[in-house]
Amino acid sequence: MRFCSSLSVACATGLCCLLACVSTGSAAETKPKPPNIIFLITDDQGFGDISGNGNPILKTPNLDRLRAEGVRFTDFQVSPTCSPTRSALMTGRHEFRNGVTHTILERERLTPTATTVAQVLKSGGYTTGIFGKWHLGDEPAYWPNKRGFDEMFIHGAGGIGQSYFGSCGDAPGNTYFDPMILHNGTFEKTKGYCTDVFFGQAMQWIEAVKGTRPFYCQIATNAPHGPLQVRPEDERRYADKVKDPNVAKFFGMIANIDDNLGTLLDKLRQWDIERDTLVIFMNDNGGTVGVPVFNAGMRGQKGTPWLGGTRASSFWRWPGTLVPADVDHLCAHVDFFPTLAEIAGVPLTGEVRPQVEGRSLVPLLKKSSSEWAERSLFTHVGRWPKGANPQEYKYRQCSVRTSRWHLVGVDPEGKKAWQLFDLKADPGETTDLSKQNPQVVQQMDVMYDAWWDSVQPQLVNETAVGPAENSFKTVFESQFGRPNAAADKATP
């Protein structure tokens, strides 16, 4: 169905009608209901780790279907690592403004003063659920159920089984098979492979809530992030197709995600809510294990400010409403929040409006060739040592993006040593043009200085002191007891 320019019967369920009613304040009886929203985000699956994006070995038929049937943002930027990206998605602003400068050491915690997209959607009548990875604070005060999620089914830390000193850690002894999962504040022993468990629980929840009010379902897989724990049958799919056994495991984990996505899409049709549901897919940062196989011609990978570290897939499928198309404008994770708010018909007012730095993607979802003003995006990998002065790391692993130019600083000692690349002519970032374009470098350098200075007051986690033991372990042991409790009591 094509987008229309007026409120006609033909577009009664279309995005244009929904937004027109919201913007004109039409009577409630003429306002169409907002869509259900399912957001799937994977962990460490790079842009090149999808067959529809050109991977010559990996097969992802269901992601390819989502890509083919939706709006595809071809220059979509995220952060170089996972907590930062999730922070920006949840709040519509750069991760540093949320205090998130790392993935551990209390610097993964999303500041409690931020409003999340789940809170905004909930205020608009949505019921909300998260299944899988959170990684924005493992202490109870930071849990998703305190940030707008009605249903919480999560593991701790950045991955199942991970544990670090301080606040960031998962349940003790967890693996990708039969993991202990925190379900609304109580640990439950699950049965099966983690990705299957997360999709299964999400679909069970969707079936229970569908039709009562619109839902927002966030499925955040920890796969294919390492450790590369994979179902043997999935590993066998690629064991004879690649030389590196780790790639076979990695691709097998992605194939399993793809299978689950196919099941979910089939369920939406069976439940007769396919045309009422917007399904969004993204990966959270640049690639890792699959990069040597295929990286879409990009330089760099996860943990770098090159395009290979920050370019992500972004597919938006809403049958009957969104017309499949490529959008080549510069877009980013910070745009997710305002886009969902507009689609849900929730105005961003009061304290929330100044928080959001991103732009609504709705004009581009309606028409891929819509006008899109020039913009600048800033990347910094962060991850300086705990207790260090951020100023000493200002120029280490950072970049500034415009639609054409990419200014990159990767000096290992943190010196200002900008390189400049013309992405229109050189998307692989092979030729440094900084000496030929000193004015461009100067202009972008000034922008970077202003941005860097502006975020310093918001780096609220730099001196944070975490608990003596991570909270997931504490909650787990309060529920089940310490593994060596008897021995502890017997010890004088």
Q: pLDDT value at position 488?
A: 38
Q: What is the arithmetic mean of pLDDT over 417-431?
A: 98
Q: pLDDT value at position 23?
A: 42
Residue 104 has pLDDT above 60, yes or no: yes
Q: pLDDT value at position 169?
A: 97
Q: Give residue for tokens 């979509």.
A: 76
CB atoms within 10 A of CB 347: 13
Dihedrals φ, ψ of 313, to 5°?
A: -75, 150
Q: pLDDT value at position 378?
A: 98
Taking the C-alpha atoms of residue 263 and residue 260, their distance in angstroms, rounded to an integer, is 5
pLDDT in tens, 461-487: 999 999 999 999 999 999 999 875 433
What average pLDDT does the chain have?
A: 93
pLDDT in tens, 310-338: 999 999 999 999 999 999 999 999 999 99
Evaluate the omega torsion of the peptide bond into residue 438 and state whether it is cis, within 30 degrees of 0. no
CB 365 within 8 A of CB 373: no
Q: pLDDT value at position 17?
A: 57
Of all residues in the chain, what percent carry a pLDDT higher than 90?
90
Taking the C-alpha atoms of residue 433 and residue 451, their distance in angstroms, rounded to an integer, is 23
Dihedrals φ, ψ of 294, to 5°?
A: -160, 125
- Give exposure, 430-447, as e/b (b: 16+ Cβ within 10 Å): eeeebeeeeebbebbbee
Q: Domains in the chain, ordered, with CATH?
A: 1-30 (no CATH), 33-366 (3.40.720.10), 378-458 (3.30.1120.10)
Best CA proximity match to 204, nearest among 153, 156, 169: 153
Q: What is the arithmetic mean of pLDDT over 261-278?
A: 98
Best CA proximity match to 191, nearest among 202, 203, 207, 180: 180
pLDDT in tens, 425-458: 999 999 999 999 999 999 999 999 999 999 999 9
Of all residues in the chain, what percent carry a pLDDT higher than 70?
92
pLDDT band per the 50, 70, 90 thresholds, residue 9: very low
Taking the C-alpha atoms of residue 250 and residue 239, their distance in angstroms, rounded to an integer, is 11
Residue 252 has pLDDT above 60, yes or no: yes
Q: pLDDT value at position 15?
A: 65
Best CA proximity match to 181, nearest among 163, 166, 161: 161
